Amino acid sequence: MTQTTSPQVEAPASMNGPWRWFARTYGFAIVAHLAANAPSGRDPGGPWLTWVVVISAVLGLAALVLLVRPSRRLLGLTAGLALLSVWLELPYIGNHWLLVGLVSAAVLVSLLYRDPWTWFAPTARWIMLGFYCFAAFAKLNSGFMDPSVSCGVFYANQSLASFGLPTVATTSPLAALTIAGPMLTELSVPLLLAFGRTRRIGVLLALCFHTAISLDLDQHFFDFTAALVMLLCLFLPESTVSDLESRAARRTRAFSIAVTGCAVMVAASVLPDVVLTTRILQVVPFMVWVPFAVWLIARVALGGLGASHVPMRLPNLVSGVILAVVLANGMAPYLELKTAYSFNMYANLVTVGGESNHLVVRRTFPLTDVQEHLLTVVSTEDPDLHRYATEGYLIPERNLLDYLARHPTTTVVVPDGDQERTLDGSDGVRMPLLVSKLQLFRAVDSHDPPRCQAAWLPAR
């Protein structure tokens, strides 16, 4: 149930401690995103590249100022820029950035109310719960539980290897731990966050778990964890968050060094992609992120594991609409509306043609027929499309036709019944803008069981 509240705009007032702490962590999440997804390193042929770089530079500057001097007006400006960035980056976007976009929308709406924090905080808590529930639920599938292909084993080994440590054999009992550990943790977190008596435990568990994951030196996860940090802190007692804010406001030497590191990351992310900027973005984020994460975990732990009674009731219908968007996005794979950035990351989940490897949702309820038209790349001279042939991935026909329209000199051979046919740029058909941004389907693994699809393929 929600209570009705009409927007009442008033002149900006000072922000309370929890509101200011959220603003700082929100700014930090944006910096982490830019460092991990540097616009300067994107494909030069990618859409809207120039605008992405320009908006990212302004967004990064706003986020840095927000880190140092949070204010309502600056928070609103930063949220607007973040939403614009999300739109420009679509469909080349990660789940964490979509999550930040949803939170940004909530920030902008909250500023229409007399008391923004009272409206925003419970709304953002439900955004977090909705997002996290779908991410955990997606892992309840046969692929994730199969050690030979599980994303749990894959990423555990990738992280170990990044430190030069021995990896876990898929036949080892330890492999089962790399599957059960993440699954049970992610299923536990939303349950713990849902109840006042266990919220601190849930926050601490999530912080420790995701910080450990973010230590992978071969793939950036700190951007994802930074986005979670800004939301996890909302479940702590406001007295605890106010204490965190008061410590941040002291402008200690450690804080100044961290802000300087963030400024270096933002600059490196928007400057030309050269050896120096690449090296900076490989090293500096961890130098800033790890000390901050350790400090935050320590402060939360020192606060004890007592109850955390924070408001959870949705303020009004508007907050319900935002939550409905979260739920619709999480349900999209099971309705075959889309399979990309649907809170189903790192999960081995397959939802194709009415079938699913999920242990609960055994069959999908297709509302589109996109995945009824999957093509096998037989041969091509295009090195990007060649990956589909060598790695054994099927490509939705509309994805391939869109790729050909954007690369008119490319030719590709695909099956045609018992024979084969050659497609080229003249066969290309661009997807409508809204469809290409909001309804993207990823490649489908032809292997059974499905492997951990750790990277985007060129035609998405």
Closest CA to 374 of 260, 457, 257: 457
CA gap 441, 219 in Å, rounded: 23
Q: In sequence order, what DSSP letters do the residues of 258-288 get, joined into one string? A: HHHHHHHHHHHHHS---HHHHHHHHHHHHHH
Per-residue pLDDT of the chain (460 residues; tens, 9 = 90+): 444 444 444 434 578 999 999 999 999 999 999 999 998 766 545 556 788 999 999 999 999 999 999 999 999 999 999 999 999 999 889 999 999 999 999 999 999 999 999 999 999 999 999 999 999 999 999 999 999 999 999 999 999 999 999 999 999 999 999 999 999 999 999 999 999 999 999 999 999 999 999 999 999 999 999 999 999 999 999 999 999 999 999 989 999 999 999 999 999 999 998 999 999 999 999 999 999 999 999 999 999 999 999 999 999 999 999 999 999 999 999 999 999 999 999 999 999 999 999 999 999 999 999 999 999 999 999 999 999 999 999 999 999 999 999 999 999 999 998 899 999 999 999 999 999 999 999 999 999 999 999 888 887 7
CA gap 361, 351 in Å, rounded: 9
What kind and span of H or E run contains 136? helix 116-137
CA gap 301, 304 in Å, rounded: 6
* CB of 59 closer than 8 Å to CB of 85: yes
- For residue 314, what are its two tokens? 């949705």
Per-domain residue ranges for the chain? 17-314, 325-445
The CA–CA distances, whole Å, from 437 to 39, 321, 350 equal 18, 21, 21
Report the C-alpha dihedral over residues 336, 341, 347, 351, rounded to 10 degrees.
10
The tally of CA atoms less than 13 A away on the side-chain side of residue 182 is: 28
* CB of 113 closer than 8 Å to CB of 8: yes
